[in-house]
Structure 1
């Protein structure tokens, strides 16, 4: 179907981004401009602009005289990103504890109940989606657009690897316990406790990914 949005390259970037997150366009894959343009019924100009957007986000890398490739998240990337995102999301939890209304906490409680159901059923993909929604909700409750903007950029890169950590032995139950600890602090309006719990949660995510990479070194380039 032909795309007709005024900001065509933004729509193209959005579609490619979703295909990357869905695993249809895998890390290291060459992005054939001719084939993609034909598939999307567009010219190569908006496609190239879209690839520039994704390159700026870190999802795509451009190699001179070779073209564009889906980016690969390395262990060094994760070592550098996770401490930063743990600090930032920890601060979001701190500010969310100060700003959340009773209605906000009720909505978060329902999300956590859903999270627990997915954990018990071992539905990893559904768990991840709900987990992502909880993080997004807490970021929004912080009401800090600067934090939200920086975290959003980092999360696009981390999203390429974060799902894998839930496959580490025992990680699903551990992740749920960590989320419940964050939520308990939020309900208690304990800003410092919420910040510490969120930072621990993110740091343990990195630890789970590291263990998984050691056990299966080919999972992460």
Structure 2
């Protein structure tokens, strides 16, 4: 076996996920599904006990979620699930719609046939989840389609900017409850977007994606209004006065 090049990391090391990545995934899903509501305290001691890990990977995971805007860390006071004000959500959606529309425009010029195969497979899996009424599976596949489309723009600055914005909306997008007609319409919009990408029609893809993303605002607004009306029994350092 040839000697490894100096400074080269073993392949297994490059491919291995860290423990804090797994914990971040677990907590992200709990936040997205509403199991950890906005303003709730993230109990590190309970996580240490329930997950059987030390505080170090938990704190590293919380830093990841704080960067994504899902958690707010208060020095010496702990971590809380972040709140999202309606006006902030609307502003984020406006920016996100333009970012994804521009990504679709660039993707039409830069994506490969292999990219299109992946997008078509993701879409078909998403349609299958829709038919099964499996909301979490549908949501995750939906998000993966959007992330893949942005990746196809082949612009890392755009990709990083998009990741930062979309993560802040992940929870309310999941908790939004579309009517059967709205859900069916969203699936149809995805089909139209995919066809525009396959045809490499940049202007149509951009218009379809921008309209599609902007259209999530009514559902997001409804979630935030429900949370506002219900109030929150948990006081964070921001609201405790």
Q: Does 162-171 or 141-150 show the bigger shift?
A: 162-171
Task: Tell me what 1:108 maps to.
Answer: 119
Question: Does the 8 Å contact 2:109/2:202 carry over to 1?
Answer: yes
Give the aligned partner of residue 168 of structure 2.
157
Report the structure, 1 or 2, having the larger helix content. Answer: 1
Residue aligning to 2:183: 172
Which of 151, 154, 158 is residue 140 of structure 1 equivalent to? Answer: 151
Worse-superposed segment, 145-154 or 64-73: 64-73
2:39 paired with 1:28 = yes
Q: Is the 8 A contact 1:89 1:139 kept in 2?
A: yes
Q: CA deviation at 1:10?
A: 5.5
- What does 1:29-44 correspond to in 2, within 5 Å? 29-44=40-55
Q: Distance in 1 between matches of 2:71 and 2:97?
A: 24
Highest relative contact order (Cα 8 Å, sep 6+), 1 or 2?
Answer: 2
Deviation at 1:48, TM superposition (A): 3.8
CA contact (8 A) 1:168 1:211 kept: no
Contact kept? 1:140, 1:148, Cα under 8 Å: yes
What is the match of residue 81 of structure 2?
Answer: 70
- TM-superposition CA deviations, 1:7-37 (whole Å, max 9, x none): 6655654543344335443322111232223
Q: 1:165 to 1:15 in 2, by over 3 A?
A: closer
The 1:217–1:120 alpha-carbon spacing in structure 2 relative to 1, beyond 3 Å, is farther
Q: 1:60 aligns with which of 65, 68, 71?
A: 71
Separation of aligned partners in 1, 2:28 and 2:136: 18
Give the number of the structure whose alpha-carbon radius of gyration is greater: 2
Change (3 A) 1:106 1:10: closer
RMSD over aligned CA atoms reads 3.0
Unpaired runs of 5+ in structure 2?
1-15, 233-241
CA distance in 1, matches of 2:92, 2:19: 31
The match for 1:195 among 206, 216, 220 is: 206
Which shifted more, 140-149 or 94-103?
A: 94-103
Q: What TM-score, normalized by structure 1, do the two folds share?
A: 0.81
Q: Is the 8 A contact 2:172 2:224 kept in 1?
A: no
Confirm or deny: 8 A CA contact 1:75 1:220 kept in the other structure: no
CA pair 7-111 structure 1, distance change in 2 beyond 3 A: closer
Name the count of aligned residue pairs: 217
TM-score normalised over the length of structure 2: 0.75
Find the residue that maps to 1:146 and give its secondary structure: helix
Deviations 1:31-79 (A, max 9, x none): 1232223334444455444434432331112346643211123312211
